[in-house]
Structure 1
Amino acid sequence: MRIFTNLNLNGPTPTRVQPKVGEWGPQMVPSTASKKRTRIWASIALVVALTALFLVGWWFYKQLNGGA
């Protein structure tokens, strides 16, 4: 079972029937690799943000209970 969905929207279709990217096709379309990198960076950012939030909450708890 896969954790994430398939980022390749063309799927198993042959190359000859896939839309071309260029003058008549979509512009600035992110590649599958860039979508994977973005997903990884977003996951890392979430973990860092949750860790920072936990540490700030712990620090406030210590300060409010007379800790040094």
Structure 2
Amino acid sequence: MRGFSDLNLNGPTPARVQPRVGEWGPDEVPTTQAKKRQRIWVGLAFIAALTALCLLGWYFYKALNPGA
């Protein structure tokens, strides 16, 4: 059957790194909407962590320099 191509798109990769395939495609693949939401949450988490770090630094600065 030389006229047909090999439909195995995984090629020679080991089975442990190949995606699990369901009836219509790979299982547990995030949707585009889920990825967009995740990008927003990561940005908000970064801003929250940066704000908390700045506030903590301000608190320690005030605690160590009471006259300033």
What TM-score bracket applies, with the shorter chain setting the length?
Answer: 0.5 to 0.7
Amino acid at match of 2:25: G
Higher relative contact order (CA 8 A, sep 6+): 1
Name the TM-score, length of structure 2 as normaliser: 0.63
C-alpha root-mean-square deviation of aligned residues, in Å?
Answer: 1.7
Gaps of at least 5 residues in structure 2 are 1-20
Give the number of aligned pairs.
Answer: 47
Amino acid at match of 1:44: L
Counterpart in the other structure of 2:55: 55
Amino acid at match of 1:49: A
Point out 4+ residue stretches in structure 1 off by more than 4 angstroms.
none
Gaps of at least 5 residues in structure 1 are 1-20
Q: CA deviation at 1:24?
A: 5.6
Q: Percent identity?
A: 64
Counterpart in the other structure of 1:33: 33
Which structure has the bigger radius of gyration? 2
Write the deviation string for residues 29-57 of structure 1: whole angstroms up to 9, x where unpaired.
10000000000000000000000000000
Name the TM-score, length of structure 1 as normaliser: 0.63
Amino acid at match of 2:40: I
SS in 1 for 2:25: coil
